[in-house]
Amino acid sequence: MWSGDCSTTPAELAVAVSDSALDVVCITDHGTVNGALAMTDELACRVVIGQEVRTQRGEIIGLFLTGRIPTGLAPHDVCRRIRDQGGIVYVPHPFDPMRAALDGAVLRELVDDGLIDAMEGRNAKTSLEHRNASAVAFAREHGLAIGAGSDAHVPEALGAAYVEMPNFSNAGDFLAALWSGVLAGHHFDEPRPWRARIVPSTSAYDDDDVEPQVRPQR
């Protein structure tokens, strides 16, 4: 619910994690790490703190973050800030024109500059399978680790796509394990009913955050 386009509550997420039997979830709300920080000790699985960052030329995910990355920066600056936190730079839903995918020319520049660690080879909300296949081919061609994400905006979508991979203890181990991972899952993007959503503050997570607001959500 910390994302502007999602309505999943902490209680709903906890049930979804239990039902899915996932060992690890990467929580990557738009524009904030507050949701991941709040849920670190609340789920029956390990939580990787992340954020989906809207750059000037598309979206980039940072994993293993310690703090929020500002919105609206240049892609190169976002990648460097993720790396400065010891994080992993992960490209979500590439080559999907229906999403806020990273601009193709910029993606190639970032790869050439060594600023991308992994690319999403299976996104559960990408309806055309050849888009996922293109991402896998690009990642292999450029020597990038390949991941998968459910891109879950509702509890039912959690675990629609995932990676079967060895255990890990830190960001470096995670990236190494991803290289031997196996992508699994299927397309899931069912229409969402209208419901009220809670929008907590995206500022630094502390006791002084702005009170949540309730807004209509589709």
Question: Token pair of 66, please?
Answer: 């310690």
- Asked if residue 12 has pLDDT above 90, the reply is yes
- Asked if residue 111 has pLDDT above 90, the reply is yes
The rounded mean pLDDT for the chain is 89
25-33+48-189 topology per CATH: TIM Barrel (3.20.20)
Contact call for residues 115 and 77 (beta carbons, < 8 A): no
Contacts for 131 with CB less than 8 Å, ≥ 6 apart: 95, 96, 123
Q: What is the pLDDT of residue 4?
A: 77
Question: Token pair of 143, please?
Answer: 């020597």
Over the stretch 167-179, which tens digit does the pLDDT of each residue have?
A: 999 999 999 999 9
Over the stretch 28-47, which tens digit does the pLDDT of each residue have?
A: 999 999 999 999 999 999 99
The pTM (predicted TM-score) of the whole model is: 0.89
- Asked if residue 104 has pLDDT above 60, the reply is yes
Q: Express as a percent the part of the chain with pLDDT over 70.
A: 88
The predicted model gives 84-108 an average pLDDT of 94
- Asked if residue 204 has pLDDT above 60, the reply is no
Q: What is the pLDDT of residue 213?
A: 39
DSSP classification of residue 210: P
**Straight-line distance from the first to the last Cα atom of the chain, in angstroms, rounded to the nearest whole number:** 13
**Domain segments of the chain: what residues?**
25-33+48-189
What phi, psi does 187 have (nearest 5°)?
-70, 135
